């Protein structure tokens, strides 16, 4: 009496998602964040639930209408047509009207459950023909059990009671077991879906617990997605590493259509690119070539050689592998292996072996006439010596540093012998002593400063060398002239040291003059000229910019005033002729400096000194010495040899004697006259400094001070340049002495080695001594190119 067609049940479609349950979602949850996988799984479960409800409903209807004929076994009764139509409402409060219709049905009841409801089934009602217990429990954990009451805030629609028959009995409702053929026929010849387990009867389910479970399930799915994403990223990284690139952006571009362009110009550009691509197609992406850096014995020699050169250039040990890889990528090659920090460090001692091999070869190739230069210094309490062998023009061989307990001459000679004998393993000599003997005989010149230790070293060297010559075979058969020529050893001193030491002689005379003029004692640090030469560079030189702001202000002041050549050098980092040059710059800029001091109160104490007549005379004399004496001596030492420079030395000393007799000549624009015109610029008479220093009417004080200073200069220069004066060894050289023409006039080679060592001390203060020695020789001797 209760036709099935009168019951309209809700169904869901997998193709359209249900409306959002905004009233039941936590405030931090967004449905849009739920993945497609989670949504699809939820729709599958809802469809299974509705299919189960549909099957049970058929069984109930069949049990309630016994007059209906049972079809044959294996055939299912006519099943109502299921039309699925899901209309999503624009607002969460809207409902979906889903109907099950049968053409033969006369009437139909409509069930319109709101999607905001908690349950799809109505709560138990006494007026309903079927009790709620006659339906199975919900088939999905997302639905609450049928015996749970709905929250008062959520309304549930009521189903109208049918009027065409009394409710069936209990036996009628349960007379068809699921395993009977009739039940199979009623379900369309398919087995019933087993409902999942439900909570126990009477246990309430809180809505918060329900959604927490949903969120936990979602988190599990997201964790699985993250794991898959991690695995895909790992596989992508392995593939990129196999191709020799670090990212997808580095892969070669494959020609294809670019992004759409809306503008006409963009379309024209795309058309031109397409034509060019057709004419000159791009090459297909090719994986980089792999360069094998290892063999069965380890890293190959080119890799070791490159590592040694990188070490000499100052590249850290732990960064050399990256540097090699970057260099290989530039040419489209990928290295199979790169050396580690420990491996690079184990190769450093090979630099010393290469240095010795190079030095032994160069000394054996030398035929004679070499010059030995040496110098010594103290660095952080260590006494260090350096020996340099000049083999010819622009051929300097650095033998390396040697740490010694003291700076005595005998210790210096022993250290030199140890350096030479350490090259025996890479030479063709039969013994270390034989190698030392051959090198001693090839050295014909000695270069050093005028220190007493150096003078004694020269004497020891000459005596030992003469003994080696006497022990040679056939020495007694030589004539006396030949023996004398073989034993000749030219000893000359560095001319740059002569220029540097001249400032001490001149400053001593100026201090004495100031003491006599001011009638109170002063020393070399408190004298007026010394204060000016020291303090003005401290404020205005380029190296003072970090400590004083006056340098920047001075540069701006020169731009505003239009001053040219206003740069003042610093005392730091200079050694030889710097005091004379600073004095010349200060005297030429004295008026501008006094004007600048008005805006720099920190330099106000210098204003009185720049107004003092005696201080200005002293500074002017120092500047004239730079332009006429010390500057030309420096240029002679840089451009000509020992013997050729002797004639210029004689001309300068003659000019000093003339200025002593006529002091006004020193302040005039007349320079020393050279007997032989030099091939280089010796005097810069057209410079601004020279023009600012000369004067036609010097004061009596200036004449008095100049005579005193020039006499001291003449005495000192005659002593240090005695070899160039008449009667000296270079005044009328013999054939043996003429070989010294190629000998350097300065000891700058040894000085430069110590300068490079100072750089290494500042850059890497914790570097070991043997590594500093090896890197210095490797760099300065150009062993890498060799």
Hey, what are 536's tokens? 């003005």
pLDDT at 29: 44
| Least confident stretch, 70-74, 211-215, 236-240, 245-249 | 70-74
pLDDT at 63: 62
Q: Is the pLDDT of residue 6 over 70?
A: no
Higher pLDDT, 145 or 240: 240
pLDDT at 340: 92
Q: Is the pLDDT of residue 712 over 70?
A: yes
For residue 326, what pLDDT band results from cuts at 50, 70 and 90?
very high
pLDDT (average), residues 399-414: 89
CA distances from 656 to 73, 109, 191, 344 (A): 141, 134, 129, 60
Hey, what are 203's tokens? 């246990």
Concatenated DSSP letters of 385-404: EEEEEEEETTEEEEEEEEEE
| Least confident stretch, 220-234, 268-282, 691-705 | 268-282
CA distance 367 to 357: 18
Q: Is the pLDDT of residue 651 over 60?
A: yes
CA 180, 181, 185: angle at the middle one, nearest 5? 120
pLDDT at 62: 63
pLDDT at 639: 83
- Supply the pTM of this predicted model: 0.58
State the average pLDDT for the chain.
75
CA distances from 112 to 122, 157, 333, 603 (A): 11, 7, 72, 97
Which residue is it, tokens 């001596």? 633
pLDDT (average), residues 51-69: 60
Higher pLDDT, 478 or 743: 478
pLDDT at 307: 92
* β-strand pairing of 382-392 with 370-379: antiparallel
Cβ atoms 42, 142 nearer than 8 A: yes
Question: Cα-flanking dihedrals φ and ψ of residue 87, to 5°?
Answer: -110, 120
CA distance 384 to 400: 10
pLDDT (average), residues 633-652: 83
Higher pLDDT, 760 or 739: 760
For residue 410, what pLDDT band results from cuts at 50, 70 and 90?
very high
pLDDT at 573: 64
Hey, what are 684's tokens? 């810069």
Cβ atoms 363, 745 nearer than 8 A: no
Domains of the chain: 1-205 (no CATH), 289-347 (no CATH), 349-490+747-780 (3.30.420.10), 496-738 (no CATH)
CA distance 312 to 304: 12
For residue 524, what pLDDT band results from cuts at 50, 70 and 90?
confident
pLDDT at 671: 87
Dihedral in degrees, nearest 10, Cα atoms 544, 585, 717, 699: -130
Higher pLDDT, 762 or 66: 762
Which residues neighbour 415 within 8 Å (Cβ) at sequence distance 6 or greater? 385, 387, 402, 404
Element (H, E) at 420: helix 409-421
pLDDT at 622: 92
CA distance 500 to 571: 13
CB burial readout 457-472, b (16+ within 10 A) else e: bbeebeeebeebbeee
Q: Is the pLDDT of residue 102 over 60?
A: no
Q: Is the pLDDT of residue 68 over 60?
A: no
CA distances from 254 to 266, 277, 282 (A): 20, 11, 8
Cβ atoms 547, 651 nearer than 8 A: no
Dihedral in degrees, nearest 10, Cα atoms 644, 642, 388, 304: -10
Highest mean pLDDT range out of 86-100, 207-221, 281-295? 207-221
Distance in Å from the first CA to the final CA of the chain: 113
Burial group, residue 602, by CB count within 10 angstroms (0-12, 13-18, 19+): exposed
pLDDT at 184: 45
Which residues neighbour 374 within 8 Å (Cβ) at sequence distance 6 or greater? 385, 386, 387, 388, 412, 416, 447, 448, 454, 457, 750
CA distance 404 to 383: 6
Cβ atoms 48, 143 nearer than 8 A: no
Please state the length of the chain. Answer: 786
Higher pLDDT, 287 or 94: 287
For residue 285, what pLDDT band results from cuts at 50, 70 and 90?
low
For CA atoms 217, 220, 224, 230, give the dihedral sign. Answer: positive
* CA nearest to 510, candidates 621, 609, 592: 621
Higher pLDDT, 521 or 2: 521
pLDDT (average), residues 757-765: 87
| Least confident stretch, 125-129, 244-248, 455-459, 774-778 | 125-129
pLDDT (average), residues 131-135: 43
Which residues neighbour 452 within 8 Å (Cβ) at sequence distance 6 or greater? none
Q: What percent of the chain has pLDDT over 70?
A: 70
pLDDT at 358: 93
Q: Is the pLDDT of residue 360 over 90?
A: yes
Q: What is the pLDDT of residues 716-729, one digit of tens each?
A: 988 888 877 777 77
Which residues neighbour 239 within 8 Å (Cβ) at sequence distance 6 or greater? none
- Give the distance, in angstroms, between the CA of residue 276 and the centroid of all CA atoms in the same chain: 40
For residue 105, what pLDDT band results from cuts at 50, 70 and 90?
very low
- Give the distance, in angstroms, between the CA of residue 49 and the centroid of all CA atoms in the same chain: 65
Q: What is the pLDDT of residues 161-220, one digit of tens each?
A: 444 444 444 444 444 444 444 444 444 445 555 555 554 444 455 778 888 888 888 889
CA distance 636 to 745: 9
Q: What is the pLDDT of residues 421-471, one digit of tens each?
A: 999 999 888 899 999 999 999 998 888 888 888 889 999 999 999 998 888
Q: What is the pLDDT of residues 214-224, one digit of tens each?
A: 888 888 988 99
CA distance 695 to 79: 129
């Amino acid at each position: 009496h209760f036709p099935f067609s009168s019951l309209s049940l809700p169904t869901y479609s997998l193709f359209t998602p249900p409306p959002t349950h905004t009233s039941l979602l936590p405030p931090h949850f967004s449905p849009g964040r739920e993945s497609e996988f989670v949504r699809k799984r939820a729709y599958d479960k809802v469809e299974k639930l509705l299919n189960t409800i549909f099957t049970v409903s058929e069984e109930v209807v069949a049990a309630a209408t016994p007059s209906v004929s049972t079809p044959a076994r294996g055939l299912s009764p006519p099943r109502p047509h299921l039309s699925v139509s899901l209309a999503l409402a624009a607002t969460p409060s809207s409902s979906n009207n889903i109907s099950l219709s049968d053409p033969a049905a006369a009437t139909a009841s409509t069930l319109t459950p709101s999607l905001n409801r908690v349950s799809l089934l109505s709560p138990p009602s006494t007026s309903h023909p079927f009790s709620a217990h006659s339906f199975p429990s919900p088939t999905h954990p997302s639905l609450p059990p049928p015996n749970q009451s709905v929250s008062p805030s959520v309304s549930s629609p009521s189903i109208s009671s049918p009027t065409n028959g009394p409710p069936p009995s209990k036996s009628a409702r349960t007379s068809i077991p699921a395993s009977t053929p009739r039940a199979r026929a009623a379900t369309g010849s398919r087995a019933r879906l087993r409902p999942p387990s439900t909570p126990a009867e009477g246990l309430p389910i809180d809505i918060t617990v329900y959604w927490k479970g949903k969120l936990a399930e979602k988190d599990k799915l997201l964790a699985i997605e993250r794991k898959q994403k991690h695995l895909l990223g790992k596989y992508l990284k392995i593939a990129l590493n196999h191709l020799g690139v670090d990212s997808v952006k580095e892969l070669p571009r494959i020609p294809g259509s670019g992004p759409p362009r809306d503008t006409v110009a963009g379309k024209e550009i795309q058309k031109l690119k397409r034509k060019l691509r057709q004419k000159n197609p791009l090459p297909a992406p090719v994986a980089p070539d792999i360069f094998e850096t290892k063999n069965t014995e380890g890293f190959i020699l080119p890799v070791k050689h490159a590592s040694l050169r990188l070490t000499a250039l100052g590249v850290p040990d732990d960064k050399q592998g990256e540097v090699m890889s970057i260099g290989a990528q530039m040419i489209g090659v990928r290295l199979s292996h790169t050396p580690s920090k420990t491996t690079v460090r184990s190769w450093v001692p090979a630099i010393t072996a290469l240095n010795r091999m190079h030095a032994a070869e160069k000394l054996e190739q030398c035929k004679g006439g070499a010059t030995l230069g040496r110098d010594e210094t103290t660095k952080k309490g260590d006494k260090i010596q350096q020996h340099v062998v000049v083999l010819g023009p622009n051929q300097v061989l650095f033998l390396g540093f040697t740490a010694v307990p003291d700076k005595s001459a005998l210790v210096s000679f022993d250290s030199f012998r140890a350096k030479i004998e350490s090259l025996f393993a890479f030479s063709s000599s039969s013994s270390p002593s034989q190698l030392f003997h051959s090198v001693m005989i090839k050295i014909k010149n000695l270069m050093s400063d005028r220190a007493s230790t150096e003078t004694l070293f020269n004497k020891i060297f000459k005596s030992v060398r003469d003994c080696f010559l006497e022990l040679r075979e056939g020495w007694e058969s030589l004539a006396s002239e030949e023996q004398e020529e073989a034993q000749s050893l030219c000893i000359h001193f560095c001319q740059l040291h002569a220029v540097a030491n001249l400032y001490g002689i001149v400053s001593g005379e100026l201090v004495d003059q100031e003491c006599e003029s001011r009638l109170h004692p002063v020393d070399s640090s408190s004298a007026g000229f010394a204060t000016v030469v020291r303090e003005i560079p401290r404020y205005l030189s380029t190296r003072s910019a970090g400590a004083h702001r006056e340098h920047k202000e001075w540069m701006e002041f020169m731009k505003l005033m239009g001053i040219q050549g206003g740069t003042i050098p610093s005392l730091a980092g200079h050694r030889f002729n710097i005091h004379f040059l600073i004095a010349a710059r200060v005297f030429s800029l004295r008026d501008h400096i006094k004007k600048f001091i008005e805006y720099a109160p920190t330099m106000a104490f210098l204003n009185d000194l720049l107004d003092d007549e005696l201080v200005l005379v002293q500074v002017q004399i120092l500047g004239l010495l730079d332009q006429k004496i010390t500057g030309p001596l420096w240029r002679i030492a840089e451009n000509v040899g020992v013997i050729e420079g002797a004639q210029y030395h004689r001309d300068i000393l003659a000019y000093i004697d003339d200025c002593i007799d006529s002091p006004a000549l020193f302040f005039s624009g007349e320079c020393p006259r050279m007997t032989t015109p030099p091939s280089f610029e010796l005097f810069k008479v057209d410079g601004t400094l020279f023009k600012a220093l000369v004067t036609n009417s010097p004061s009596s004080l200036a004449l008095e001070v100049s005579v005193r200073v020039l006499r001291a200069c003449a005495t000192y220069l005659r002593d240090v340049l005695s070899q160039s004066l008449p009667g000296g060894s270079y005044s009328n050289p013999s054939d043996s002495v003429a070989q010294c023409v190629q000998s350097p006039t300065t000891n700058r080679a040894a000085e430069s080695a110590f300068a490079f060592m100072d750089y290494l001390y500042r850059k890497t203060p914790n570097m070991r001594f043997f590594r500093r020695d090896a890197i210095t020789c490797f760099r300065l001797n150009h062993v890498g190119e060799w």
